[in-house]
Structure 1
Amino acid sequence: MIAPLHFADAREAADLAAFLGRLIHYDRAAAVRLQAGSGALAVFGRPPSFEVLAIRTARLVDDVRLDVTVSAGELLEGIEESAGKAVVPDTVTGPPWAGLLPPRGGWEPVGAMPGATELRGAVAAAVAEFRSRDEELPQERRTRAERDRLGREIWSRTVAGTDLPLRAVHAAQSLGFLPPHEVPVALLASGPWLRLRTPYGSIALRTAPMSLTVTPGAPR
């Protein structure tokens, strides 16, 4: 039995609940990996289709040590926003990505990123382009495979001369990390990993194929 997690600020419980709700919107059976230590909690999830890892952090009252994979839906049900706490559900068998987390350190800034408003504009333009080109497809080519190919072409484009694919920015906006106002945005790199970071969370992805080496990781 894992003791409940108590957040340093009740608003962080609400923010985590919002993040989990967005993950479940994309995958009702989503799992998340929780890592806690040194008064902080990191929650890792992988929304389908974006091919990225999403990371949400929160401050805890106690120095809890924890590293488990659980159901995102059950964790959401266990959050008491008004009390600022969360009941951790029973562990589940983790999906493969849960054993391949970004490194805990060694992150360095990578160039200058556009502001949040410009990034949201890039996502909106890509969505509009996809819809326009999809409508232009002749009926015989309106297949799932053709639409998937079109989506890969658009969302694999990189941002502002970096190696960050546009799908990572799309994921950040979809998960609430790029809210409808200006926020600080940074791009960091550590080995083969890239990380798009805002005050609301991070999106991480590898720029090289995954290996089978399990990275312990740590709260962010």
Structure 2
Amino acid sequence: MELVFPDAQGLDDLRTFVSRARAADDDGAVRLQADGTTLAAYVGVLPGAGLMGEGAVLGLRVMPLATPATLDVTVALAAVGDRLARESGGRLEIPPMTVRAPWSAVAPPRGGWERVGAVSADDLVVAAREGIAEIAQGAPSEAGGHAVTALRRQVWGRSTTTIPPVRAGGAFAAYVLGFASSGSEVTVWAHGRWTRLSTPTGHVLMR
């Protein structure tokens, strides 16, 4: 199975998205959903807890395809990254080995979102950088894995001081995935237990 993009730029966009997602979690996965000539690529930036993935933070990039396709697979970021490193045209061969990512079991809603406001991308960047610094200072190299996980959950689970407030983990995802462009505005949407941060570059989904 392969995906055909309109041009090399489309493949470059996916390559950049995957590279940034690997910077957040090199052992992570990407869910590739193709329906006709639209590809939705989801990545898990912060893991959730429990069967319903409460607290999960996902990144979403939507890209056009040149050839219609029907696909829904979750594969390792590293495997996709390796293939993208070898590709120079507009085609991507899908890795044959799928992986299980808990966050991919609960799909975000496609429609029915309600706009609840907008925040400054610069404010999200500040919140993300402050959170990164707090985790770096509070999690010394000798700290155990459980302590680091608990600190990250605490930092990224709190709300930002923006109006409307959003979870700091969403600010981190927008920052690390390159969605928060300086001087731009990020719209905030809600749907039940989900919150979405949207920019022209991509979306952050929080449960």
Match of 1:103 among 101, 104, 109: 109
Looking at secondary structure, tell me which structure has more strand per residue. 2
CA gap of 1:9–1:154, structure 2 versus 1, over 3 A, is same
3-state SS of paired residue (1:103): coil
Q: Do the aligned residues in 1 keep the contact of 2:46 with 2:169 (CA within 8 Å)?
A: no
Unaligned residue ranges in structure 2 (runs of 5+): 49-55
Partner-residue secondary structure (3-state), 1:78:
helix
Q: Which residue of 1 aligns with 2:4?
A: 6
Measured on the aligned residues, the alpha-carbon RMSD in Å equals 2.8
Between the aligned partners of 1:94 and 1:130, the Cα distance in structure 2 is 28
Q: Between Structure 1 and Structure 2, whose CA radius of gyration is higher?
A: 1
Identity of aligned residues (%): 34
- Tell whether the 8 Å contact from 2:124 to 2:174 is kept in structure 1 after alignment: no
Tell whether 2:68 aligns with 1:63.
Answer: yes
Q: Kindly state the Cα deviation for residue 177 of structure 1 after the two structures are TM-superposed.
A: 1.6
Corresponding pairs, count: 197
Residue 172 (structure 2) pairs with residue 170 (structure 1) = yes
From the superposition, tell whether residues 76 and 149 of structure 1 become closer, same or farther in structure 2 (CA, over 3 Å).
closer
8 A Cα contact 2:36 2:68, kept in partner: yes
Q: Which runs of 5+ in 1 are unaligned?
A: 207-220
Task: Provide the TM-score with structure 1 as the length reference.
Answer: 0.76
Structure 1 position 170, deviation (Å): 0.7
Query: What is aligned with 1:112?
Result: 118
What do residues 104-160 of structure 1 show as CA deviations (whole Å, max 9, x unaligned)? 1111211232x212221222333445556x39x9xxxx6665555544443322132
Opposite residue 29 of structure 1, the aligned amino acid is D
Deviations 1:29-56 (A, max 9, x none): 3222111113110111113458311112
User: Counterparts of 2:25 and 2:153 in 1: how far apart (Å)?
Assistant: 20
Q: Given the superposition, is the C-alpha separation of residues 182 and 11 from structure 1 closer, same or farther in structure 2, using an over 3 Å criterion?
A: farther
Residue 159 of structure 2 corresponds to which residue in structure 1?
A: 158
Q: Is residue 156–residue 169 contact of structure 2 (8 Å, CA) maintained in 1?
A: yes
